[in-house]
Amino acid sequence: MFQARGDAVELKLKVLDDKLIRAQVSEEEKMKPLHDNVSIATETLYAERLAREVTSPPPLLSPACAKVGCLLWSRRERTVN
């Protein structure tokens, strides 16, 4: 009696395990095109960014940013010395 019950539980677990594996494979198949699209978009954006960095000059600091940077640098120099 206990053996039959144990076998039934084992069979039920196997069926559930098979269902889970099929569901995981199905989800992976659904997500693969999306993953591929995201990968392509990421690579394209990275290539565009590199191209922009190579072709465009570095941005100039605005006078306000330069002033703040100088003030921070001078404060740091005073605290270090």
Which amino acid does the sequence have at 37?
Answer: N
Higher pLDDT, 75 or 14: 14
**Do the Cβ atoms of 63 and 55 come closer than 8 Å?**
no
Dihedral over Cα of 19, 21, 24, 29: its sign: negative
Q: Could you tell me which residues come within 8 angstroms of residue 69 by beta carbon, excluding any fewer than 6 positions away? A: 61
Structure tokens at 16: 């559930």
Mean pLDDT of 13-41: 93
pLDDT tier at 23, thresholds 50, 70, 90:
very high
Q: What are the boundaries of each domain within the chain?
A: 2-80
pLDDT digits (tens, 9 = 90+) for 35-80: 999 999 999 999 998 888 778 766 666 677 777 777 777 777 677 6
- How far apart, in whole angstroms, are the C-alpha atoms of residue 81 and residue 60? 30
Mean pLDDT of 22-32: 91
